[in-house]
Structure 1
Amino acid sequence: MTADQSIVIIGAGVSGLTTGVSLLEAGLPVRLVAEEVPGATSLAAGAMWGPYLVEPWVRVREWSLASLHVFEALAEDPSTGVRMVSGIEAARSQVPAPDWSDLLPDFRTCAPEELPAGFASGHRFTVPLIDMPVYLQYLLDRFQRAGGVVQHGTIRTLDEVEGASAIVNCAGLRGGDLAGDPGVRPIRGQHVVVENPGITEFFSEDTGLSSELLCIYPHGDNVVLGGTAIDGEGDLRDDPEAARAIVDRCAEIVPELAKTPVVAHLVGVRPTRSEVRVEEERRDSGSRVFHNYGHGGTGVTLSWGCAAEIAELALTTQDR
């Protein structure tokens, strides 16, 4: 790597910013290029740690655990937007504990009287809950303090990137297009932000593969209510009917939510792939591309683990 060349990261969502921080703090120069800083999809996230519906599990487990440790440390500083919050995930049928349950020391099965009416099983645990606007600003500030350069712009092909020692593809939904990978598809997600009527714990329903989700994530004065997961849809416009249904579902769990004022509507598109792609590609030109995309709805959960792997790859190839 020459002194006048930076690693160029494409994308400024949670994956791009976290990867940028990891590379900079490993001693590598970084320039980040994106249309939106921070990225809109990451801003629309809930966001609670949890490796849901994402593969390959062996790597996902390690990435998730690495991120968990970082978030636990960040939660000691309120200015990061990260807090450790206790709550319940429940289901209307008998559902076994998830594969990741052994990563959480306080994970336990709920007694029947702990569950809302109509629910048959559930688990209580404590995980990081992330206020995304606050957290993304924290990441951006940390990135720039470490010497990272932010450039607003659109990269349509990897060939457009100039003056780069290497490229990191963190472009989310567009990551597949840049990589010539047709396996990335959108899953549209919508949340409703309301004033907090006094909720201190999270609640989420295990809805399986349903497009209608139920989650309640308290963030101080506000609560993020979710949600939807509409496979194959990439429209970012608000859906008023879906928003009403989200509030109604959440009000079945916490009736006070039926009348609390709405603060904002959030819509994002989860960049989903059969498997998360974190790897190095050597192009015919000899240039190096590190791919970090396809996280689906677990971009926050995997962010620090995937970023650490990209930094390790970059340092390794630097020494070749």
Structure 2
Amino acid sequence: MGIMFKGMRKIVSSSPHHLIPRKVKFDWHATPIDWIKGEPFASHFINAIHLMFPAGELWMCRMINRAIPYLDDPKLIEDARAFIRQEAMHARSHSSAVDEHLKAYGLYPDEYQQRVNKLFEEILMDEPFGVRLPKPLQKEWLIFRLGCMAVFEHIACVLGQYALDHEKWEEVADPVMLDLLRWHGAEEVEHRSVVFDIYHGVGGGYVGRYMCTGLVLAAVTVLWTQGATEILRKHPDIKVDPSIAHGWFSQQWRRATSLGLLPTLPWVAGKMLGYFSPFYNPIHEGSTEQALAYLETSVGYLATQKPVPAAVPFVDQTVQA
């Protein structure tokens, strides 16, 4: 468990095992435009993560690299480096879904993607809006960003566990997209403690974490709904204005949740409440055993593994006919 004391603070890794970076490969050629059969809203509401995650995950990799020099627990440093490798693979995999799925069907919203990229590649970098911060503020700015990452990682863990548990998708979902979501979700569950531990290891505390939570929830809500709207706006079968200001969006949301295709808002809110507790520790969220069990069977992961050569029977050449 992470140990946090005022004045005399020693933060150690909470992860119960050694994290494993995995390569994956997904073949999108047979994935239909609506990967949840007959459900464009649910399909593309989830597809919005392909637009948000690549830039966000590469940004997190950069921030963790900045934080490593402040850490002194060897296991936590090992966790941090493995986390970077896992997140980099997440970014590449969601980028492949953009390039080979969304773009293939003409659903890619260029302007929205540019806004997302600007957020992570300019505004949230070391010099926000190009402004060089005074040296005393540089570490505080890093701690703030790590605090925001810790909130996002909690959300990712909760949704990752949802993907692992949710059997309804198996009846209606494209198996390739479902495997991407479950593989990614399982790794989020696997490394759920890393950023939280690093945030506290660098000097973050409960008050800062509390403040970051509201900002991240607002930002994720806006980015996610805007991304889904922009994809749906390009969908050939959507003839209405899909923006959230109009009734169609909320109507479709209620329909999708009633069918069990998306989590309900009360469920999400309930999962966020625990994060506000000063005694919160992500190790109590999700199941490491379930996550690791899925990761060993993921088709995308197995596609990158070299097949084990078949055993060749031994023939004793000295035996005479």
TM-score bracket, normalised by the shorter chain, equals: under 0.3
- Write 1 or 2 for the structure with the bigger share of strand: 1
Q: Which has the higher helix share?
A: 2
Structure (1 or 2) with the larger CA radius of gyration: 2
